[in-house]
Structure 1
Amino acid sequence: MPVSTEEKKRIVSEFLQRCAAYADDKLAAYQQQAALAKGNEGLTLQDKISHWTAYRVFTEYTVEELKTAELDSWFAE
């Protein structure tokens, strides 16, 4: 039985929401470490925070796009 576009989008959205939660956990951990870090370690952690923040924002943006028809063509058979 074929899977509908809506079901595919739901599955991908749930996965991305888990990815966002994982990113939130990583960000919290790096922020906590950065508060105690000194020198180059602090700079490295700030770089990681920047990357994880960008990933988190992009992931949330994609979840929002999945609520529309914007990406429906990606799910075509």
Structure 2
Amino acid sequence: MAKTLGSKGRVTIPKRTRDALNLAPRSSVEFAVNKDGELLMHKMDERSGRKPDRFDAARGKADVKWRTDELMALLRGED
């Protein structure tokens, strides 16, 4: 969908996009341009001021308590 840039360099983010990124008024976003010249917009984490890490949700959730030597033996295929 095309949008027109206003005289002050502003453009309205379409509702469909705001809803998809769960953006609310005063949300922080980051803009970047990739090597193909496409505009990328990322929602910033309110607490840290950085892009959310896709691994944050999984961090600290493992319920298997491996000892280092047991894990290395498993990874190396040692019996």
Q: What TM-score results when the alignment is normalised by the length of structure 2?
A: 0.24
Q: Which has the higher helix share?
A: 1
Please identify the structure whose Cα radius of gyration is greater: 2
Q: Which has the higher contact order (CA 8 A, sep 6+)?
A: 1
Q: Which has the higher strand share?
A: 2
